[in-house]
């Protein structure tokens, strides 16, 4: 059986991908652990995970391929998730949620990282 293809991902990208998952989890009630599952996800977890993909793409300015690498999925999966999220923005409540998440993420991570003393 062929081994799955994995691209090395920086620790910074893993942290930011995790942040997007946890922010979506906090706003939707779907746990980050449930969204991060590798098996087929139930619809609420799947949609929440798609929101995290979209948030990483839009708020971080990552190309679809980078989002895919950070979450361990292919670019086509991320593209489909982003198309779904864009279409879902027709719902005012979801559009407002995504606006808040994008603004919060950009505000939180806008400056250079703080270097902690040793």
Q: In Å, what is the CA distance from 118 to each residue of 11, 111, 115?
A: 19, 21, 9
pLDDT tens for residues 74-103?
Answer: 999 999 999 999 999 999 999 999 999 999
Question: Domain extents for the chain?
Answer: 11-106
Q: In Å, what is the CA distance from 12 to each residue of 28, 33, 66?
A: 24, 19, 12
Indicate if the pLDDT at residue 37 is higher than 80.
no
Residue with more model confidence, 66 or 40: 66
Q: State the pTM of this model.
A: 0.89
Under CATH, which number does the domain 11-106 receive?
1.10.1750.10
Indicate if the pLDDT at residue 113 is higher than 80.
no
In this structure, are residues 56 and 23 in contact, taking their beta carbons and an 8 Å threshold? Answer: no
Segment 57-74 shows an average pLDDT of 95
């Amino acid at each position: 059986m062929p081994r799955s293809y994995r691209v090395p991902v920086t620790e910074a990208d893993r942290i930011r991908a995790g942040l997007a998952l946890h922010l979506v989890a906090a706003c939707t009630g779907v746990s980050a652990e449930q969204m991060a599952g590798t098996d087929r996800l139930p619809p609420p977890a799947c949609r929440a995970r798609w929101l995290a993909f979209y948030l990483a793409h839009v708020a971080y300015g990552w190309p679809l391929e980078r989002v895919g690498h950070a979450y361990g999925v292919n670019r086509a999966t991320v593209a489909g998730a982003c198309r779904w999220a864009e279409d879902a923005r027709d719902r005012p409540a979801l559009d407002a949620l995504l606006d808040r998440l994008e603004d919060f993420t950009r505000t939180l991570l806008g400056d250079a990282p703080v270097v902690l003393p040793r």
